[in-house]
Amino acid sequence: MATVVELREKCVAEIDTYGRLGYFNDRPWLRRAFFAVPREDYTPTRVWVPKREEDGRYPVLDRREQPETWLRAVYSPRLALITQIADGAVRIEDGPTVSSVFTSSLSCPAVVVDMLHYLNPAPGERVLEIGTGAGYSAALTAERVGPGNLTTVEVQHELADLARASLQRAGYDIHVHAADGEQGWEAGAPYDRLISTAGVRQVPAAWLRQVKAGGLIITPIATPMNRDALMWLRPDGEGGARGALITDLSFMKLTSQREAGPWREYGWPRLPDYEVTVTPDGEQRIRTHG
């Protein structure tokens, strides 16, 4: 059986092959944090694997029954682990399920690292995290920003309590609050940076108000292309912001933004507004008019 250290090293080595230069590139603090924070300490004993078996059901991994398989899954770079379905209406104690209404998960290591790569807080900066989940990303961030500088918000009280307990056992001084992440956390504002582990359809006004002018927001945003995109924004201090899309990924949405409206409500161009150009050498370019 591979040791935790060996699995962690293998996970890092694989993540180092992603992207043009690897997600850890130019972020030595992030590499150190990844080795310092035991991901297994923030992973529930029982989790669903979001890959259907032959019977069409999502299997359950139990640390007590399948310790090696469970641990390998914890450090599988591209594997998210589902910790809640249908806001807890589907119980993991009941075993495998056909339901796919995932409402909480431990994001895969590669995505966690990639998002923190772009957030890249400096020591001592004040950071607001939306979506505490199990607390793993919070622990990684706290390794960088230091005691008392991270505030994290989780909409589900039970999850917030579990994360708070895990983080306290590990010795982290992190402000964990059970609240609606769409509202941010006004009491701790202003923040230098904000990261959301839940996707949005529309950037909440509270986030733009609570992050300093010139600060940074990193969040997944829904797109009309059947995939979310990771987005960065720089608030202007007047309630607005400018930014760009970084890469594609897939994320659960904020509880208050699960229901989708027409794309035009969120400012996306209609498909006729896209222009496609193909050059004689096969290069393809897609852009919007204007």
For the segment 101-151, what is each residue's pLDDT rounded down to a tens digit?
898 899 999 999 999 999 999 999 999 999 999 999 999 999 999 999 999
Q: Residue 253: its pLDDT value, please? A: 80
Q: Residue 280: its pLDDT value, please? A: 78
CA distance linking residue 249 with residue 246, whole number of Å:
10
Q: Residue 257: its pLDDT value, please? A: 82
First-to-last alpha carbon distance for the chain, in angstroms, is 58
Strand 102-106 to 175-178 pairing = unpaired
Of the residues 107, 137, 166, 196, which is catalytic? 107
CA distance linking residue 231 with residue 249, whole number of Å:
10
Structure tokens, 265: 């409500």
Q: Residue 290: its pLDDT value, please? A: 58
Q: Categorize the per-residue pLDDT at 289 as very low, low, confident or very high, splitting at 50, 70 and 90.
A: low
Close Cβ partners of 120 (under 8 Å, ≥ 6 residues apart): 27, 30
CA 86 to chain centroid: 19
Sheet containing strand 175-178, strands side by side: 175-178, 150-154, 127-130, 191-196, 211-222, 228-235, 241-249
Q: Residue 79: its pLDDT value, please? A: 96
Question: What mean pLDDT comes out for the span 29-38?
Answer: 97
Of the ranges 44-53, 205-214, 241-250, which one carries the lowest mean pLDDT score?
Answer: 241-250
CA distance linking residue 127 with residue 122, whole number of Å:
10
pLDDT in tens, 235-287: 999 999 999 999 888 887 878 888 878 877 888 777 667 777 787 788 888 77
Question: What mean pLDDT comes out for the span 27-50?
Answer: 96
The yes-or-no answer on residue 107 being catalytic is yes
Domains defined for the chain, CATH in brackets: 4-106 (no CATH), 109-266 (3.40.50.150)
CB-count exposure of residue 261 (10 Å: 0-12, 13-18, 19+)? exposed
Q: Residue 12: its pLDDT value, please? A: 96
Ordered alpha helix ranges (H), 39-100:
67-74
What does the mean pLDDT of the chain come to?
A: 92
Give the H or E element holding residue 29.
Answer: helix 28-36
Of the ranges 3-17, 28-42, 97-111, 254-268, which one carries the lowest mean pLDDT score?
Answer: 254-268
